[in-house]
Amino acid sequence: MTALEAKQLSLSYGGNYIFSDLNLEIPKEQITVFIGSNGCGKSTLLRSMARLLKPQQGAVLLNGSDIATLKTREVAKQLAILPQGPTAPEGLTVLQLVKQGRYPYQSWLQQWSREDEQAVGLALEATNLTELADRAVDSLSGGQRQRAWIAMTLAQGTDIILLDEPTTYLDLTHQIEVLDLLYQLNSEEGRTIVMVLHDINLACRYAHHIVAIRNQRIYAEGTPHEIVTDSMINAVFDLKCKIISDPIFGTPLCVPHGKGRSFAAAQRITK
């Protein structure tokens, strides 16, 4: 089953086509990761699947319906997106931010309800932010801040969550913290997670399905074990490497070739 599907999708910026006649299915209740070099179109594709970018041709289907024909609130009840590097107004508390996730359910007829309160409480609990609810978002560490934004998307109550480079600017500890949280949401609640990641090894650890993009086209897609090979990395990233087994998880582990160490060793020998 698919949660999101692109059918004969064509996207462009300023008259320049980014993708043409693209077809892609996002598996339901799995973690899908887009990988590829800078400028290949990963974020553009993610944005189009959230209806933030209008296609020139084709359609994006959300749970079987053309997303372009759905009302904004209806989309927001099924799909949440966390863009890269979101910012909150100065002084906004974690609780105030997370409450924004309930906006699709508010109207002049239906104000804040017990269901809204419960959704916000569960989102704070799931992200371990209950004790920080009254803290200003801009006073948090990078990992805490990212968890606060994820809590907002959880409060939105959608089965599908899209994230554009959620680990950017985070140190390794906080990268693992955020990805572990997303993995938990998928494994325990069946949320469909779609995200853009730069780190190939983390993508292999956390993804069920990887989509490799090269020159605005899907070069390969499948499980990490199926598609992450020396030749694929070389073709997509123009990088020579050796793929070995991750000693902890057994997933593919990319060990890039490089000249830094060999160059330094050669210099020591000549001295």
- Tens of pLDDT, residue by residue over 2-46, are 789 999 999 987 677 788 899 999 999 999 999 999 888 899 899
Give the length of the chain. Answer: 271
248 belongs to a structural domain: no
220: closest CA among 236, 243, 241?
A: 236
Distance CA 269, CA 222 (A): 45
- Pair 73, 162 in one domain: yes
Instruction: State how many domains the chain has.
Output: 2
Last residue within a domain, chosen from 138, 157, 176: 157
Confidence of residue 240 (pLDDT cuts 50, 70, 90): very high
**Same-domain status, 97 and 149:** yes
Closest CA to 45 of 195, 236, 159: 195
Pairing of strands 16-27, 160-164: unpaired
Q: Span 78-105, mean pLDDT?
A: 92
pLDDT tens, residue by residue, 105-114: 877 666 778 8
Last residue of a domain, one of 132, 157, 182: 157
Nearest 5°: phi and psi at 240?
-80, 135
pTM score, whole prediction: 0.89
C-beta separation of 165 from 172 below 8 A: no
What CATH number corresponds to the domain at position 172? 3.40.50.300
Considering the domain boundaries, does residue 165 fall inside one? yes
Query: Which residue range forms the structural domain that includes residue 70?
Result: 2-78+158-229
Q: In whole angstroms, how far apart are CA 112 and each of 87, 95, 99?
A: 24, 14, 10
In a domain, 65, yes or no: yes
Q: Are residues 66 and 107 in the same domain?
A: no
Here the tokens at position 48 are 């189009």
Q: Are residues 181 and 49 in the same domain?
A: yes
